[in-house]
Homo-oligomer: A and B are copies of this chain.
Amino acid sequence: MKKHNFNAGPSILPREVIEDTAKAILDFNGSGLSLMEISHRAKDFQPVVDEAVALFKELLNIPEGYSVLFLGGGASLEFCMVPFNFLEKKAAYLNTGVWAKKAMKEAKAFGEVVEVASSAESTYTYIPKDYTVPADADYFHITTNNTIYGTELKEDLDVNVPMIADMSSDIFSRPIDVSKYICIYGGAQKNLAPSGVTFVIVKNDALGKVSRYIPTMLNYQTHIDSGSMFNTPPVVPIYAALQTLRWIKAQGGVKEMERRATEKADMLYAEIDRNKMFVGTAAQEDRSRMNICFVMAPEYKELEADFMKFATERGMVGIKGHRSVGGFRASCYNAMPKESVQALIDCMQEFEKLH
Contacts and interface: CB of A to CB of B under 8 A. Distances in A.
Interface of A: 1-3, 5, 7-13, 17-19, 21-23, 25-26, 31-40, 42, 71-77, 79-80, 102, 105-106, 109, 187, 189, 193-198, 213, 215-218, 230-237, 240, 317-318
A72 B189 CA distance: 13
A256 to B, nearest CB: 21
B18 A26 contact: yes
A76 B231 contact: yes
A106 B215 contact: yes
Contact of A7 (B23, B25, B38): B38
A18 to B, nearest CB: 5
A7 to B, nearest CB: 5
Contacts of A12: 37
Given A22-B22, A73-B217, A234-B237, 14 more contacts: A5-B33, A7-B39, A9-B39, A10-B235, A11-B37, A71-B73, A72-B73, A72-B196, A76-B216, A76-B230, A79-B215, A80-B217, A109-B213, A196-B237
Nearest to A39: B7
Choose among A18, A23, A109 the residue with the greatest number of B CB atoms under 10 Å from its CB.
Answer: A18
Given A1-B32, A72-B74, A73-B77, A236 B196 contact: yes
Contacts of A216: 76, 79-80, 102, 105-106
Given A22-B22, A213-B109, A3 B232 contact: no
Contacts of A9: 39, 232
A236 B26 contact: no
Give the 9 A-B residue pairs with the shortest CB-CB distance, closest first.
A196-B234, A36-B194, A73-B73, A80-B215, A76-B231, A3-B32, A22-B25, A196-B196, A72-B72
A87 to B, nearest CB: 12
